[in-house]
Amino acid sequence: MVNEGDTLPVVTWNMYRRERGVNGPIGYEAAGDNRPPQTWQEFKSDELFNDRCIIIGIPGAWTVNCTHQMQMFDGQFDQLYTKCIENVYFLSVNDSFCMQSWIWAHYAIKVDWVADGNGEFTEKIGMLVDKSDCGYGKRSWRYAMVVEDNKVEKLFVEDGMADNVGVTVDPYKESHYNNIYSYLRTTGRKQDPPDDSRWYWDVPSAEKVTRPEDDIGFKERLKLTARERVEHNQENADFINFDPSRDSIAHKEKEEQDKKDKEMEGGMLGT
């Protein structure tokens, strides 16, 4: 396992994401707004972790504790910045689509993310564990590191690190925001609060798509859809109006048998 004072291994991540430093719409027609679309880009770990930053390893995006932790750091990032923290990276053995959607869905704009989808970095620092009992496969143990010049300044690792510890075991104490901020206060380093113009992500807008050339327009499509629904209902009336308690074969057979039974009973009473 990596220790304080160690230099972190250098890996290259290929992540699908928007260009850093660009806000606004994304998607196929984003160029019309002078905004490039998302693209596959290579990121080297030693370049990302050059400035003093915090790396937070999490078991998985969208999980309860990870989401709470991410929102804590995003909402209180400014205090970390005043202690000379330039970035906070949430790193998980998830793909980049999952990580991006998780951050954007929670309107987080100050923290960043790293998709260590192959688990290469996580394994090299000794934080890769088997969470197959949760249906996760290989994932990261929860930890946090204060890093500068790609070297570990301070390490926070949750207790009980092991494989397949159970679905209810997800320690979240050592890497809590309060614990890390308390450490940063002891270092004595400080700087002015951040300028809002530095944020490289904003709350995302919907992706833009090109209207098909044969598109008939919204109103006409509504009319067409309504007509198609009426025709469908007429053609499939027997199925749509089918009532199992009235129209099933078993019900028809029972009705026929009841009719025969009544006729038989009537004949017996007549004799």
pLDDT in tens, 206-262: 444 556 667 777 778 778 888 888 888 888 877 777 777 777 777 777 888 888 888
Asked if pLDDT for residue 31 goes beyond 50, the answer is no
233 occurs within a structural domain: yes
Cα–Cα distance between 29 and 37 in angstroms, integer?
A: 8
Last residue of a domain, one of 152, 167, 198: 198
7 occurs within a structural domain: no
Cα–Cα distance between 91 and 110 in angstroms, integer?
A: 15
Regarding whether 222 and 191 lie in a shared domain, the answer is no
More confident site: 230 or 47? 47
Cα–Cα distance between 93 and 96 in angstroms, integer?
A: 9
6 occurs within a structural domain: no
Range of the domain at 243: 218-270
Regarding whether 135 and 237 lie in a shared domain, the answer is no
| 180-213 confidence digits (pLDDT tens) | 999 999 999 999 988 866 664 445 544 445 566 6
Asked if pLDDT for residue 68 goes beyond 90, the answer is yes
Regarding whether 101 and 16 lie in a shared domain, the answer is yes
Q: Which residues contact 35 (CB under 8 A, 6 or more apart)?
A: 22, 23, 24, 25, 26
The interaxial angle of helices 177-187 and 64-75, nearest 10 deg, is 40
Q: Is 127 exposed, middle or buried (0-12, 13-18, 19+ CB in 10 A)?
A: buried
User: Can you tell me whether residue 39 is helix, strand or coil?
Assistant: strand
In Å, what is the CA distance from 257 to each residue of 45, 243, 248, 254? 78, 20, 14, 5
Cα–Cα distance between 113 and 115 in angstroms, integer?
A: 7
More confident site: 238 or 60? 60
The verdict on whether 53 is a catalytic residue reads: no
Regarding whether 92 and 122 lie in a shared domain, the answer is yes
Regarding whether 55 and 138 lie in a shared domain, the answer is yes
| 104-153 confidence digits (pLDDT tens) | 888 888 899 999 999 999 999 999 999 999 999 999 999 999 999 999 99
Angle, CA 181 vertex, CA 180 and CA 184 arms, to 5°: 90
Q: 7 forms bridges with which residues in the sheet?
A: 151
Lowest model confidence (mean pLDDT) among 11-20, 41-50, 121-130, 179-188: 11-20
DSSP state of 208: B
| Number of alpha carbons in the 13 Å side-chain half-sphere of residue 87 | 21
pLDDT at position 252 is: 75
pLDDT at position 75 is: 92
- pTM over 0.85? The answer is no
In contact, 77 and 195? CB cutoff 8 Å: no
Asked if pLDDT for residue 24 goes beyond 50, the answer is no
Asked if pLDDT for residue 42 goes beyond 90, the answer is yes
Q: Where are the beta strands (DSSP E) in 26-140?
A: 39-44, 53-58, 87-92, 112-115, 128-130, 138-140
More confident site: 267 or 98? 98
Cα–Cα distance between 56 and 175 in angstroms, integer?
A: 8
**Active-site choice (53, 66, 84, 134):** 66
Provide the domain count of the chain: 2
Regarding whether 227 and 123 lie in a shared domain, the answer is no
248 occurs within a structural domain: yes
Cα–Cα distance between 113 and 56 in angstroms, integer?
A: 9
pLDDT at position 30 is: 44
pLDDT at position 269 is: 59
Regarding whether 144 and 265 lie in a shared domain, the answer is no
pLDDT at position 219 is: 78
Cα–Cα distance between 202 and 110 in angstroms, integer?
A: 9
Q: Is the dihedral of CA 141, 143, 149, 152 positive or negative?
A: negative
